[in-house]
Amino acid sequence: MYVIGTAGHVDHGKSTLVKALTDIDPDRLPEEKAREMTVDLGFAWMTLPSGREVSIVDVPGHERFIKNMLAGVGAIDLAMLIVAADESVMPQTREHLAILDILHIRRSLVVITKTDLVDEEMVELVKAEVEDALEGTSFQGCPMVGVSAYTGDGLDDLSSALDQILDNTEERADLGRPRLPVDRCFSITGFGTVVTGTLIDGVLAVGQEVELAGSGQRGRIRGLQSHKNKVDHTQPGVRLAVNISGLSRDDVERGDVLTNPGWLRPTRRLDAKIRMVKGAPHSLRHNQGVTFHLLSSEATARVRLLDADRLAPGTEGWVQILLDEPMPMVRGDFFVVRSAEDTLGGGQVVDPTPRRRHRRFNPDVVERLMMLDEGTGEDILLTVAEQWGPCDLTSLSLRSNLSESEVLERIPSLSQDGQVMVLGKLGSDKDAVVYSTQGWTVLKSKAFVALQTYHTQNPLRPGVPTQEVRSRLDLPQPIFIRVLAQLAKEGMVVETGRSLRLPDHQVELTPQMEQQVEAYLTSLRKDPYSPTSEHPLDTELLAVLIDGGKVVKVNDSVVFTAEAYKEMSDKIIAHLKSEGSITVADARTMFDSSRKFLLPLLEYLDQQQITRRVGDERVLR
125 and 191 fall within a common domain? no
Give me the mean pLDDT over the 334-361 stretch: 92
Q: What is the pLDDT of residues 429-453, one digit of tens each?
A: 888 999 999 999 999 999 999 999 9
**Average pLDDT score, the chain:** 91
Question: 4, 5, 106, 100: which is closest to 52 by C-alpha?
Answer: 4
Main-chain phi, psi angles of 412, to 5 degrees? -55, -40
Instruction: Write down which residue in 197, 231, 259 finishes a domain.
Output: 259
Q: Which amino acid is at 21?
A: L
CB 400 within 8 Å of CB 350: no
How many separate domains does the chain show? 5
221 and 234 fall within a common domain? yes
Among the residue ranges 49-58, 205-214, 368-377, 562-571, the one predicted with the least confidence is 368-377
Query: Which uninterrupted H or E stretch holds 167?
Result: helix 155-167
In a domain, 232, yes or no: yes
| CA separation for the pair 478, 493 (Å, rounded) | 18
Return the ∠ at Cα 517 (arms to 511 and 518), rounded to 5°: 90
Query: Which uninterrupted H or E stretch holds 613?
Result: strand 611-614
Q: What is the pLDDT of residues 19-39, one digit of tens each?
A: 999 999 888 877 877 777 787
Give me the mean pLDDT over the 312-339 stretch: 95
Instruction: Write down which residue in 121, 139, 167 finishes a domain.
Output: 167
Q: What is the pLDDT of residue 326?
A: 95
CA 187 to each of CA 47, 142, 190, 218, 493: distance values in angstroms, whole numbers, following the listed order: 29, 41, 9, 17, 62
| DSSP string across 2-22 | EEEEEEE-TTSSHHHHHHHHH
503 and 516 fall within a common domain? no
Q: Which domain holds residue 576?
A: 511-620
Q: Is the pLDDT of residue 533 over 80?
A: no
Q: What is the pLDDT of residues 448-466, one digit of tens each?
A: 999 999 888 888 888 889 9
337 and 379 fall within a common domain? no
| CA separation for the pair 134, 417 (Å, rounded) | 45
Q: What is the pLDDT of residue 534?
A: 73
| CA separation for the pair 399, 295 (Å, rounded) | 18
H helices of 229-296, in order, are none
In a domain, 560, yes or no: yes
In a domain, 173, yes or no: no
Q: Is the pLDDT of residue 123 over 90?
A: yes
427 and 456 fall within a common domain? yes
- β-strand pairing of 334-338 with 284-285: unpaired
CB 89 within 8 Å of CB 133: yes
Q: Tell me the percentage of the chain whose pLDDT exceeds 90.
A: 65
Q: Which amino acid is at 39?
A: V
387 and 416 fall within a common domain? yes
Q: What is the pLDDT of residues 92-121, one digit of tens each?
A: 999 999 999 999 998 999 999 999 999 999
| CA separation for the pair 386, 554 (Å, rounded) | 49
In a domain, 172, yes or no: no
DSSP code at position 333:
-
In a domain, 174, yes or no: no
Q: What is the pLDDT of residues 275-288, one digit of tens each?
A: 999 988 899 999 99
Which of the four pLDDT bands, split at 50, 70 and 90, describes residue 51? very high
In a domain, 160, yes or no: yes
| CA separation for the pair 41, 64 (Å, rounded) | 13
The larger pLDDT score, comparing residue 348 to residue 548, is at: 348
Give me the mean pLDDT over the 593-600 stretch: 91
339 and 475 fall within a common domain? no
Look at residue 357 and give its three-state secondary structure: coil
In a domain, 370, yes or no: no
CATH code of the domain in which 229 resides: 2.40.30.10
17 and 144 fall within a common domain? yes
Q: What is the pLDDT of residue 182?
A: 94
CATH code of the domain in which 148 resides: 3.40.50.300
Q: Which amino acid is at 197?
A: G
Beta strands in 329-395 (DSSP E): 334-338, 343-351
422 and 490 fall within a common domain? yes
The larger pLDDT score, comparing residue 602 to residue 539, is at: 602
384 and 488 fall within a common domain? yes
CA 347 to each of CA 252, 313, 367: distance values in angstroms, whole numbers, following the listed order: 27, 14, 18
CATH code of the domain in which 489 resides: 1.10.10.10
Q: Is the pLDDT of residue 273 over 90?
A: yes
- β-strand pairing of 239-245 with 257-259: unpaired
In a domain, 141, yes or no: yes
Among the residue ranges 46-50, 83-87, 214-218, 335-339, the one predicted with the least confidence is 214-218
143 and 15 fall within a common domain? yes
Q: What is the pLDDT of residues 504-530, one digit of tens each?
A: 888 778 788 888 888 888 888 899 899
Q: What is the pLDDT of residue 543?
A: 79
162 and 224 fall within a common domain? no
Instruction: Write down which residue in 365, 389, 416 finishes a domain.
Output: 365
